[in-house]
Structure 1
């Protein structure tokens, strides 16, 4: 081989090596997946097309379910928005992160008393801060209790959280979905232009009251013989679904679907008061059905949980127990980041971890009373679901507001249900299965020992 030919050969080898090196670098620096977190507000676990509801139409969430890992037996940590959301963010139970209700005192010095609670909460790790610390842009819209979007660690957002301007549980953010989707689409445009991974917190005030759906949707559900509160709620569920469709369609339009993890969950359940009219205890409470929002029954705490990630997550419906505290460790694992080692939840994408889990737990505290430093002071129930069984353990925590009427009717110390045979918890089996009661009560006591709870 001549010197000239040798030079050409060496040069070609060098170029080929550099090309391979470049390919490897591109592969190694591929943009991490976006995370879109969709959170509905006050919706029962039954009330979706993909969960089998015969009347409520949710075509967009149905399509999402077709490309998702769907946990039909998902649960939240508490049946109330603020502590429920706080558990999703931190991966901790309410007695760990300190937010057990919506207010320290529902009537007096609300903002002043709440400030130290929020400040303590913001010292805790959460998935929002974990993502932004690793280069993500993050946008908050909708429900948000813990001050402003900046306080929560987002880089962008809507909620100002200033009590002097009416800021409390979302303020300007609550316009999302009901009035506009533009802040979200603008943020997606920004993140796409800057070629940065993003987190989108979409928690619209839907289907939450006020139940004032567009007339075109309400007309579908207003039928002779159907109570008005039911018709309006059904329409609100479809309206929420429409907004989810707008969001998911925009991700597709911007070419972001394949590199986006979409997680869906609801903060807590809800049912119309008229659906429980035959229950004499309903006379104590007119806003919604007893044993739904604010209660430890499945109409208050159960929710489908969906995870979509094209090419990474196999779509299927599973009966494994899932929990809101799993959101943080699941997001961290998917993006290959390290969450705190003390988180009690699991990575929901880990099939073995799901298979090994047999029990999930949760709490129910007073709605508008919190005692900072003593979370069990307002405790109303602890509960667990173990395989097909569910146990409620009743406490008598402090509750000085009208919301005590959600619980004062229930004087039973324990209630036991077989959810497989009795999914709507109509038959208390505690008297006929005392051994199961004791076994599950022991599990609850080992999970969260309660020294003493004051009488209401």
Structure 2
């Protein structure tokens, strides 16, 4: 009898192991502050991105991929929860904000609320080993730490920006230091973009050997400031100068790092059972890192297309089309339910998600739009995208209305021609805002003017196609 029980137990164990092995691995390659136009697969003749260009030919490229906010921290908060971050008060720019916040939640108290369920929490429930490498930017206090938010492994930094080279003098803020696991601060021995790729590769190798399904977010800080690049990468762009030269070198390093990860998946023979996503957290800040968003208008921190539309690729061999495009608007909010569904979960069990499982739309099983409406908000600025129409509400000027497919650069304001539509979209935006939580922290009003001024100054991105103002 005992032998029969042992055999049954062993068969059940083997069955569960086989099921686990069949789950697809998931790799999210996430860049930071990259310009929409600064990739070969988006037409750049200046940037060298052969690995990502190759990925684009093997993937579905989303022509209208959006983030939930045009700045780093809130955008990440939306992605990692699959919910509009305004629903839990993570609205007013980045965290921590020692000098800029004017509310009770300041400094280390600012972060992704602990009651929010993360993408890693969901994937662990599905039997995945989870990891996060790179820029966190969702709270500096210990209770916000990645290993306490569902990730099994972490090597990165808690803040929003740091040097790409090892620190010789320890900065005052430990959130700028590289940290392995929890509290073990270890600076990299090489250029950070390359170091992060090697960490992810080590994680992939270990789990592939153990035949465990894995989920990893490789959250590069490239190409966010500071403008750091190696001499070898800079030498690849002798015709460029200034920030444009540096961002080209940083983009080359980003592409190289992504290529190493993709090559490792193929080397291990698991590439066909691995879903790979490449996207970015917000539009390029032309003034800060010389990123270019053309033909989109505007930059990071604005709600013009150049602030919220990002490069977006999904590759899953034998499941999604290769070298194809998908033209309806989608969002990084969709990644959590998509990953959960691919891992075998029932999306209906996800509480409060604003995203959708993209797979039925990619495969053509569902021919409708994934989202009839999308929203954005920061302070008094608000945006609603309904179908092909986009309304932007400003604090200092009349609203603007654009038909995005016909006017991708947002140059023809049609407010006066469609007063009824404007009124209806205003009401719908306001109705959505009534469902939100008040911001947990507020910025000084002066920062809103900075964002508006930046939008006005860098609205016409055609001036910066070659990296310098014409």
With the shorter chain as reference, the TM-score category is 0.7 to 0.9
Deviation readout 1:214-248 (Å, 9 max, x if unpaired):
3343344443xx66222322332222111100111
Q: Does residue 35 of structure 1 match 2:42?
A: no
Local SS of the residue matching 1:142? strand
Report if the CA contact (8 A) 2:126-2:344 is conserved: no
Q: Does residue 252 of structure 1 match 2:241?
A: no
Alpha-carbon distance between aligned partners in 2 of 1:263 and 1:180, rounded to the nearest angstrom: 17
Structure 2 equivalent of residue 394 of structure 1: 394
Structure 2 vs 1, CA of residues 114 and 350 (structure 1 numbering), >3 Å: closer, same or farther? Answer: farther
Structure 2 vs 1, CA of residues 26 and 90 (structure 1 numbering), >3 Å: closer, same or farther? Answer: closer
Structure 2 equivalent of residue 344 of structure 1: 354
Structure 1 equivalent of residue 340 of structure 2: 332
Alpha-carbon distance between aligned partners in 1 of 2:157 and 2:231, rounded to the nearest angstrom: 31
Local SS of the residue matching 2:275? strand
1:402-413 alignment, distance < 5 Å:
411-413=396-398
How many angstroms does 1:79 deviate by? Answer: 0.7
Structure 1 equivalent of residue 300 of structure 2: 293
How many angstroms does 1:329 deviate by? Answer: 0.8
Alpha-carbon distance between aligned partners in 1 of 2:176 and 2:297, rounded to the nearest angstrom: 23
Q: Does residue 113 of structure 1 match 2:113?
A: no
Structure 2 equivalent of residue 59 of structure 1: 50
Tell me which of 329, 338, 355 is aligned to 2:368.
355
RMSD between superposed Cα atoms in Å:
3.5
Alpha-carbon distance between aligned partners in 1 of 2:406 and 2:23, rounded to the nearest angstrom: 43
Q: Does residue 166 of structure 1 match 2:180?
A: no
TM-score between the two structures when normalised by the length of structure 2: 0.74
1:39-50 alignment, distance < 5 Å:
39-50=30-41
Structure 2 equivalent of residue 280 of structure 1: none
Structure 1 equivalent of residue 193 of structure 2: 177
Structure 2 equivalent of residue 419 of structure 1: 404
Deviation readout 1:41-87 (Å, 9 max, x if unpaired):
00122221112223222111111112212211011000111111111
Alpha-carbon distance between aligned partners in 1 of 2:99 and 2:332, rounded to the nearest angstrom: 29
Tell me which of 234, 250, 261 is aligned to 1:218.
234
1:15-26 alignment, distance < 5 Å:
none
Deviation readout 1:136-188 (Å, 9 max, x if unpaired):
21121111023433122111111364999734377448954254533222212
Report if the CA contact (8 A) 1:51-1:72 is conserved: no
Structure 2 vs 1, CA of residues 424 and 215 (structure 1 numbering), >3 Å: closer, same or farther? Answer: farther
Unpaired runs of 5+ residues, structure 1, are 1-20, 277-288, 366-378, 396-410
Q: Would you say how many aligned residue pairs link Structure 1 and Structure 2?
A: 394
Structure 1 equivalent of residue 462 of structure 2: none
Tell me which of 105, 116, 133 is aligned to 1:124.
116
Report if the CA contact (8 A) 1:271-1:299 is conserved: no
How many angstroms does 1:308 deviate by? Answer: 1.0
Alpha-carbon distance between aligned partners in 2 of 1:23 and 1:158, rounded to the nearest angstrom: 32
Report if the CA contact (8 A) 1:87-1:97 is conserved: no
Tell me which of 115, 136, 147 is aligned to 2:128.
136
Local SS of the residue matching 1:123? coil
Unpaired runs of 5+ residues, structure 2, are 1-11, 139-143, 160-169, 181-186, 291-295, 446-470
How many angstroms does 1:415 deviate by? Answer: 1.5
Deviation readout 1:81-128 (Å, 9 max, x if unpaired):
11111111101112113222213644179998355543x622212221
Report if the CA contact (8 A) 2:383-2:391 is conserved: yes
Alpha-carbon distance between aligned partners in 1 of 2:14 and 2:198, rounded to the nearest angstrom: 37
Q: Does residue 71 of structure 1 match 2:85?
A: no
Alpha-carbon distance between aligned partners in 2 of 1:58 and 1:221, rounded to the nearest angstrom: 13
Report if the CA contact (8 A) 1:90-1:325 is conserved: yes
Deviation readout 1:360-403 (Å, 9 max, x if unpaired):
423343xxxxxxxxxxxxx14211223332211124xxxxxxxx
How many angstroms does 1:28 deviate by? Answer: 4.9
How many angstroms does 1:341 deviate by? Answer: 3.9
Report if the CA contact (8 A) 2:282-2:308 is conserved: yes
How many angstroms does 1:349 deviate by? Answer: 0.9
Structure 2 vs 1, CA of residues 274 and 31 (structure 1 numbering), >3 Å: closer, same or farther? Answer: closer
Alpha-carbon distance between aligned partners in 2 of 1:112 and 1:172, rounded to the nearest angstrom: 24
Alpha-carbon distance between aligned partners in 1 of 2:351 and 2:424, rounded to the nearest angstrom: 28
How many angstroms does 1:301 deviate by? Answer: 0.7
Structure 2 vs 1, CA of residues 237 and 295 (structure 1 numbering), >3 Å: closer, same or farther? Answer: same
Structure 1 equivalent of residue 7 of structure 2: none
TM-score between the two structures when normalised by the length of structure 1: 0.76
Q: Does residue 309 of structure 1 match 2:316?
A: yes
